[in-house]
Amino acid sequence: MLTAAFPGSFDPPTLGHLNIVERAARIFDELLVVVAENRQKKYLFSAEERVAIVSSLVEPWKNVSVTLCDSLIVDFIKERNIRLLLRGVRGGGDFSYEFELSMMNKALDSSIETIFMTTDPEYFVLRSSAIKELASFHGDISAMVPPLVAKALEDKYR
């Protein structure tokens, strides 16, 4: 069984995140989307909201599940016997950040492997932070996020 964990803030999830999920679900037997709750970070959506939104979005994939993690990701996945971390990369900027992160995780546990999946071209400009900013000015985000997320953002910024 090949199982990977796809960790992230998902604040909120975008079509870019879902594209990674869709493609990864075809490669791995099981994919665990890990919604990270980091006390140092400020989120627009609470951990419970993010888990609920992501859970409803991944419903079509029977081999994808969602969980919340408020501890160190490396420890979290090891406890679940998962050794593969999946991360999406949109370009050079993402890659240098992701590369350092993977080195840090490797230093914490050498048995953890990070796998990078490049974004599909139509999603490479999609970034949760930029989408939130756009939504806060009531800009049109309908081509960037699923309708459920567009509605949730609309409610937040009403």
Tell me if 105 contacts ligand ADP by CB under 6 A: no
Residue closer to ligand ADP (CB basis): 83 or 132: 132
Active site residue 138: no
What Cα–Cα distance (Å) separates residue 24 from each residue in 1, 37, 61? 14, 22, 11
Which candidate in 9, 17, 50, 87 is catalytic?
A: 17
**Phi/psi at 99 (5° precision):** -65, -45
User: Judging by DSSP bridges, how do beta strands 84-89 and 64-69 pair with one another?
Assistant: unpaired
β-partners of residue 87 are: 116
Instruction: Find the binder of ligand ADP among 20, 47, 69, 135 (CB under 6 A).
Output: 20
Active site residue 158: no
Tell me if 153 contacts ligand ADP by CB under 6 A: no
Give per-residue burial for 76-90: e unless 16+ CB within 10 Å, then b: bbeeeebebbbbbbb
Which candidate in 23, 78, 83, 90 is catalytic?
A: 90
Instruction: Find the binder of ligand ADP among 5, 8, 51, 69 (CB under 6 A).
Output: 8
Instruction: Find the binder of ligand ADP among 28, 45, 76, 123 (CB under 6 A).
Output: 123
Tell me if 126 contacts ligand ADP by CB under 6 A: yes
14 and 149 Cβ atoms separated by less than 8 Å? yes
Contact set with ligand ADP (CB under 6 A): 8-10, 14, 16-17, 20, 87-90, 94, 119, 123, 126, 128
